[in-house]
Structure 1
Amino acid sequence: MLKQTPKPELTIWYNTRCPVCDAGVSWQKRRLVEAVKAGRTEFRDINLEPAALGGFGASLEDIRRRLHATDTTGRLLVGADVAIAIWRATPGEGWLAALFGNPVALPLTRLAYDRFADLLYAWNRRKGRW
């Protein structure tokens, strides 16, 4: 009988062509090394699978603009919600998830993330990183 590989609790889709995104994800991967080894967390380069989230209506450009992730229930997370999910999964960073993901702070967290993502996306486009 074949052993079934469990579905990751969190699959994060990101843009390796963005040096800021790539560095941030590389840092998180090191923090989550045990979760990655165990298959609980997975990081995937959207440039290698550009249509991967098409079923959710997310285009390649959407994912280059903001982090996207799927959880075990098949739910799509976008932007700040991905960052919060990563912090929840990262040892010692749960307090960040609690601080920025609480019902009072979450709207501001999402707004700040989206503005930063817009600026970063525009910078990458100017630099021709596509």
Structure 2
Amino acid sequence: MTAPLPKLTVWYNTRCPVCNAGIDWQRNRLVQAARAGAIEFRDINLEPDALVRFGANVEDIRRRLHGVDADGRLYVGADCAAAIWLRTPGDAWLGRLAGLPVVGSLARFGYDRFADILYAWNRRKGHW
């Protein structure tokens, strides 16, 4: 049996309809992980300076998911998504898959392109 993963705190932009829908869509799966204390979601709009110690400002977090585990490790973008999946019952296989070298590189590339497009769309629509 493997040791439990350290708690993950994830900051995201609740004003982004796509980001919010993504978290809402997974919320039922995440409830069990949240109740167990494995994961917590926070609104970056309420804590804009939350990750300044990592050099991340509010715009960085509005562009890409950011998470920090209890050991102080920072996860950004696709790596943050993988960390969430590893803690979500039934989705851990996705997290392990995204952690493979080639798959992880492709996931980061795809996530970053999508995040850039979504960020630009949110700015145009005023979702701040």
Normalization by structure 1: what TM-score? 0.89
Count of aligned pairs between the two proteins: 123
Larger displacement relative to structure 2 (14-23 or 86-95):
86-95
* Structure 2 residue aligned with 1:15: 13
Contiguous gaps of at least 5 residues in structure 2 = 1-5
* Structure 2 residue aligned with 1:116: 114
CA change 1:61–1:29 in 2 (3 A) is: same
* Structure 2 residue aligned with 1:5: none
CA change 1:57–1:116 in 2 (3 A) is: same
Tell me which amino acid in the other structure corresponds to 1:43: F
Normalization by structure 2: what TM-score? 0.91
Larger displacement relative to structure 2 (8-17 or 73-82):
8-17
Deviations 1:18-59 (A, max 9, x none): 000011112223211122122221000000010011111100
CA distance in 2, matches of 1:65, 1:79: 9
Shift of 1:95: 2.0
Contiguous gaps of at least 5 residues in structure 1 = 1-7
Task: Select 1:104's aligned residue among 94, 102, 105.
Answer: 102
* Structure 1 residue aligned with 2:48: 50
Aligned alpha-carbon RMSD (Å): 1.2
Secondary structure of the 1:32 match is helix
Shift of 1:97: 1.7
